[in-house]
Structure 1
């Protein structure tokens, strides 16, 4: 089976000498390789930034005269050949970590389901940390050579663009995605028509097509219901992340779970391991159960087979963050399925029944927990919280015996390491350090970096952050006619050499962004301390339907605007992965 199914159209007007820039643009390997990004920024650095560092859009817009100029630049051509050599070596490697350590499992396959993937700012299909973790998992799977395939959604209207008005109120501008300008490829069938799967929803059948994103060696397939043959309402099912409409939400999760399994089958995959990143995709277990029952297994036997090959990662630290559906909605969407599973209604509901103060619900995390053999939280503390949250599912066990472990969230080093810091590591760490990131002894060599050298790199990166913030503030003032106080609130007065604290997260109330503001007088004393002031940068979005979250942003922003902060409290609007890289 081919690793990739989409075919790049590559209709860029490029000279033959650098024609492979087009193919490279469609593999997100460049997102974690600064030298690869320089192949584009070298041609026109201003256009590179204007296109949000999107090589596909860049190549569609760049002037031919600028392209022609670099093919006569010996330094550029030398760099071009070096980067393409590295790309080919990476893609064709036979000595990956996985093949070196688990060659006997090379024909096994891992399917990874997530409702969002944070891969790059040009792909607005993520809302926060869950998506960034999914994207980093895909990139690290590529680096390690894991036999990994991802399944998710391509949200045709993306996540929103955030603006903060003078009173601190968040407004959300819709994003309109243009597929031809993104590093995304259509998956076509033998007739060159969009490959689709069908999923039954009440009273109709909905089609979903697939888009392919190449993440290094890893294929990621994203479903989209904006397909001819669907009703207008159904074409919008995958338009946006995290709708507050329960019918739309459950429809999305049915498509993700049930449709995702069918998509993998149609693409020729038969995964050996199924990983649910949060409970949104838990309906995949029902589709797999149906497959086993059709093969002659009992439902209980099917559950055991599913559990033996399924992992579930839970992220939510509070019950309110879990997806739960009222039982009448489950009746509406699944009444035709449970007989096919040889279950009655009560048995089906019991798979995920959750008794709460206002009644009973069907809980997606509970379904995922019951259908997975391995369950993990995302930090040691979160593992403790999760065991306490879900202990009632194991009434005969003590809290510490609840079978939920933890795996601390990490990051994909290549994505989040600044180029200048990477150059420093290349100089002082052993050769090949990038492939030995989990070796504690290797990191001992960091101590060999002279303090003043490391500190100068840090100062350089802080200068870049402040310069970026000031330019953003300038552009906001030029284009949006914002009030001068908002320019200050956007970071125009920050000092790159002062201690700076960042709080950049999704503005859900349980993340407590306003906690540091509770004793405001004490905070003012800290930020205005002579010779030792502290600066604080806030950034983050609230879901458009999350009124408490938007009120929290407003509370923070009103404090940021106060003159007595001296411009040392800052709120940066429209937080995305590009801003995040400057912050870290």
Structure 2
């Protein structure tokens, strides 16, 4: 295994990455997570510890955690909030103290008053996770309860928690003497940290714009969802109430500070995060595309393909999610150091050598363990039914009821006495999500319907412990989101690691993972007609169940083992386990995000922030003069003397740049390639007509004839700088 702390010690020092997240799912005994975002953050921390990456986590300790779910006989979800038992935590949790043994207390401004927070630390291998909490004697009773629960419905409490996380978390690291080189914001909840960092630099005498560039250069942002509810917004009035005494401390006026996050009349935390980061990524390749589409609405003058958003596909922590018995089987057949090389395909190739009967038997034992743990009916014979699992947050876009779209047909599928099928559901709906809770109610009602009796089950209080049983014990993992709303989805990766086969809409990570031999794909459309999409997806799902999944499962081979099914299990493990794990994921973050951002941040901060100051001044000049940039005239000159199928094209444009130097812009002829992509031809300044007015020309022989109609061609002018993270950092472009 690569030890990054050893290999790259010269690039980063200890505690050089600060990883902020509103939730962390380390273990069910520390219930400070609600779902995928938190579990991903927990797995990220564990992988960083495994790889010896110098990372420090920052979050909030929620005294009552996320709610405990109880479902009554009618299917109504009830929310219980017991106090989190720190003594029961698998991970040691300790109060953070100073050198004199006194608890460290952080002061955070909230609506003109001071709120105090203490910090707890959780040690995960070499990584320390710090969790802030306001249950401090010097706080008012109301403020002591600010950090009771995760994702409160009240906006005042939500913004207070996010100020505590971002501003308070930054102040905690400063107090502890931790000075990160890279600041990683895991979703927008923590984006106020950028304002606090600007404030700290402003207090040292730097201008707002210079401080902004220094902060931006050393910050990365991961966005996790295209769902609007996943992007926090606060009214401008609320921002004024909470930041009225804070704006001036940043060295800028109110409007300039608000401009970092203002969108459509509200303050958008995702917009703030994008405005203050040099690198932004989605959590799968498709999600990267969807995010670019979403951000295009903010920057309509920049084509979707040019929006500067990268992608790092999520993975899961193998050591956390692999069943213990299956691990023992892998220990016998895989290389002795396989747990240190989980991102190496050749290591997993040895799974193909495991006797099919042994792999099948281990899965049957995991299945039996799950049934017993949940108190589900045990099969009357030695052959258990096909069990399909659907477990995730109950949000409407995840379409938990899609499989019941034709109740009579699915009743026949599940109720075949010769080939029985069982559906097991689990998941919570947010306390404020009425439609999500209604989905749970309907599933409970269906489970009580005579047609689905002992065929449909709802497991209450879904958490990490129950998730492990499900991803290890069911036969098929079902995922039917409304495409493209599933940004990544990692539960299917956990299932695949344990030999459970995925049947999923081709959304999120499954677009990348599915190879035609390792599970089943519901090839959903994205035409915007959700009703038609649901109808098509339902039909595809039923067909897969009736014609492929159920027949394959019940096709017995020697020793009553469905060997063809077991072979698909092996293909699933071999093709998915080495790719969709956090060792690969965090390695990607290291190379694509952390190392370049560390180098950029250092360069901007060097020599009394000389580069940051220069870039700030340059951007100010460009913005002040950009209104004078115009593409006056564009000509396309045909040349048919090129090789067959291609036309050589010459482009000529007359560009008014005003006060801007011609070497500070990139001029391109741009057109569609007919496949949702772009072709570009760079034009060079060949003559200055008058002051500020230039003639640009360029040629290309690599543009297909079909894609060069004049109606498809335009000329674009973009301000550039070798100090920019991308050509579109200023979010400016002038078109012909």
TM-score range, shorter chain: 0.7 to 0.9
Residues 279 and 365, structure 1, Cα contact 8 Å, conserved in 2 = yes
Question: Equivalents in 2 of 1:519, 1:382: separation in Å?
Answer: 30
1:404 counterpart residue number? 309
What is the deviation of 1:398?
1.2
- 1:150-189 correspondence runs (5 A): 150-182=57-89, 183-189=92-98
Residues 247 and 254, structure 2, Cα contact 8 Å, conserved in 1 = yes
1:464 counterpart residue number? 369
Question: Equivalents in 2 of 1:204, 1:582: separation in Å?
Answer: 47
2:183 counterpart residue number? 274
Question: Equivalents in 1 of 2:269, 2:119: separation in Å?
Answer: 24
- 1:11-410 correspondence runs (5 A): 97-108=3-14, 109-182=16-89, 183-355=92-264, 360-410=265-315
Residues 494 and 568, structure 1, Cα contact 8 Å, conserved in 2 = no
Structure 2 residues without counterparts, runs of 5 or longer: 472-736
Residues 528 and 566, structure 1, Cα contact 8 Å, conserved in 2 = no
1:500 counterpart residue number? 387
Tell me the secondary structure at the aligned position of residue 336 of structure 1: coil
Residues 29 and 88, structure 2, Cα contact 8 Å, conserved in 1 = no
Deviations 1:454-498 (A, max 9, x none): 11111111111111111xxxxxxxxxxxxxxxxxxxx33668722
Aligned length: 466
Question: Equivalents in 2 of 1:385, 1:513: separation in Å?
Answer: 22
Question: Equivalents in 2 of 1:318, 1:175: separation in Å?
Answer: 30
What is the deviation of 1:544?
1.6
Tell me the secondary structure at the aligned position of residue 373 of structure 2: helix
Question: Equivalents in 2 of 1:578, 1:527: separation in Å?
Answer: 27
Question: Equivalents in 2 of 1:341, 1:121: separation in Å?
Answer: 40
Question: Equivalents in 2 of 1:581, 1:303: separation in Å?
Answer: 43
What is the deviation of 1:297?
2.3
Tell me the secondary structure at the aligned position of residue 142 of structure 2: helix
Tell me the secondary structure at the aligned position of residue 545 of structure 1: coil
Residues 118 and 131, structure 1, Cα contact 8 Å, conserved in 2 = yes
Residues 493 and 567, structure 1, Cα contact 8 Å, conserved in 2 = no
What is the deviation of 1:106?
4.9
- 1:407-426 correspondence runs (5 A): 407-426=312-331
Residues 122 and 130, structure 2, Cα contact 8 Å, conserved in 1 = yes
Question: Equivalents in 2 of 1:313, 1:523: separation in Å?
Answer: 39
Question: Equivalents in 2 of 1:310, 1:274: separation in Å?
Answer: 5
Residues 185 and 222, structure 2, Cα contact 8 Å, conserved in 1 = yes
| Structure 1 pair 445–178 and aligned structure 2 pair: CA distance change class (3 A) | closer
Question: Equivalents in 1 of 2:303, 2:355: separation in Å?
Answer: 50
Residues 57 and 128, structure 2, Cα contact 8 Å, conserved in 1 = yes
Tell me the secondary structure at the aligned position of residue 581 of structure 1: helix
Residues 540 and 575, structure 1, Cα contact 8 Å, conserved in 2 = yes
- 1:446-465 correspondence runs (5 A): 446-465=351-370
Deviations 1:252-275 (A, max 9, x none): 000000000001111120001111
Residues 186 and 194, structure 1, Cα contact 8 Å, conserved in 2 = yes
Residues 5 and 54, structure 2, Cα contact 8 Å, conserved in 1 = no
What is the deviation of 1:526?
1.3
Question: Equivalents in 1 of 2:441, 2:32: separation in Å?
Answer: 25
Deviations 1:97-152 (A, max 9, x none): 21343132351511100111111111111111111101111111110101111000
Structure 1 residues without counterparts, runs of 5 or longer: 1-94, 471-490
What is the deviation of 1:96?
5.8
Residues 69 and 77, structure 2, Cα contact 8 Å, conserved in 1 = yes
Question: Equivalents in 2 of 1:466, 1:582: separation in Å?
Answer: 9
What is the deviation of 1:517?
1.8
Tell me the secondary structure at the aligned position of residue 103 of structure 1: coil
The Cα RMSD (Å) is 1.6
Deviations 1:502-557 (A, max 9, x none): 11111122222222222222211211123222211110111122222211211121
1:427 matched to 2:332: yes
Residues 112 and 276, structure 1, Cα contact 8 Å, conserved in 2 = yes
Residues 227 and 235, structure 1, Cα contact 8 Å, conserved in 2 = yes
Tell me the secondary structure at the aligned position of residue 445 of structure 1: helix
What is the deviation of 1:320?
2.9
Question: Equivalents in 1 of 2:358, 2:334: separation in Å?
Answer: 14
What is the deviation of 1:165?
0.8
Residues 30 and 86, structure 2, Cα contact 8 Å, conserved in 1 = no
What is the deviation of 1:221?
0.6
Tell me the secondary structure at the aligned position of residue 393 of structure 1: coil
Normalised TM-score (structure 2)? 0.62
Instruction: Identify which range, 374-383 or 133-142, moves more after superposition.
Output: 374-383
Residues 507 and 541, structure 1, Cα contact 8 Å, conserved in 2 = yes
2:494 counterpart residue number? none
Question: Equivalents in 2 of 1:228, 1:321: separation in Å?
Answer: 33
Question: Equivalents in 2 of 1:130, 1:518: separation in Å?
Answer: 29
Deviations 1:377-433 (A, max 9, x none): 112222222111111233332112211122111110000011111112111111211
Tell me the secondary structure at the aligned position of residue 269 of structure 1: coil
Structure number with bigger Rg: 2
Normalised TM-score (structure 1)? 0.77
Q: 1 or 2, which has the higher helix percentage?
A: 1
Question: Equivalents in 2 of 1:307, 1:137: separation in Å?
Answer: 23
2:631 counterpart residue number? none
Tell me the secondary structure at the aligned position of residue 105 of structure 1: coil
Question: Equivalents in 2 of 1:523, 1:289: separation in Å?
Answer: 57
